[in-house]
Amino acid sequence: MGTAHVIGNGESNSLYTPQSGTIMVCNIPKHNHPFDLYSIIDTRVIQYLMKEKLELLDKPVWGTQVVKDFAKKNKIKGEFLHVYENIHRYNSGHHAVFWLSKKYNEIHIWGFDSMWSDDLLSQMDDRVKRPKRPPLNKQWRPHWKNLFKKYPLVKYYIHQPTNTETVEWSKNVETIKS
């Protein structure tokens, strides 16, 4: 068991400071914090890597079979692992937390602003152009609640800015505002 941290691409990921434990980032982060793993579920991120001629040689990528196959087909260098199964309306953070919950008893969640607001912006938006999004937080929040309830022995910490809405998640979830 142990501690893991998942860093999303919402503006509040600026609250993150280097921590001990396993560190997973979602997609291609803009911050320079050290980390251990990538979580990528969207082939558009792989297309961005191709366009920019970027290689992810330094850390494993956890993704779906589709992401692994797409990276292989396009000869993207890096260790792409089929860890995730497709779950409708799961984002890369959901997948990361879901799978880390099987191995860790404490998980810190950073930079997922849609958990407490209607903010769906991602620091990836200038890299990976997306069509107008539906209000995904209305679908993402129930997924978070179900995920937290599925692993009642895991303690989750959601890091969010002060003066933001506190959402009641589950008994095993604590909100830390700073």
Structure tokens at 41: 């579920």
Mean pLDDT of the chain: 91
Which is more confidently placed, 1 or 8?
8
Number of domains in the chain: 1
Q: What is the pLDDT of residues 111-120, one digit of tens each?
A: 999 999 886 6
pTM summary value: 0.92
Range of the domain at 82: 3-177
Q: How many CA atoms lie within 13 A of 11 on its CB side?
A: 9
- Which pLDDT does position 94 carry in this prediction? 97
Confidence grade of residue 3 (pLDDT, cut at 50, 70, 90): very high
DSSP letter string over 100-117? HTTT-SEEEEES-GGGTS
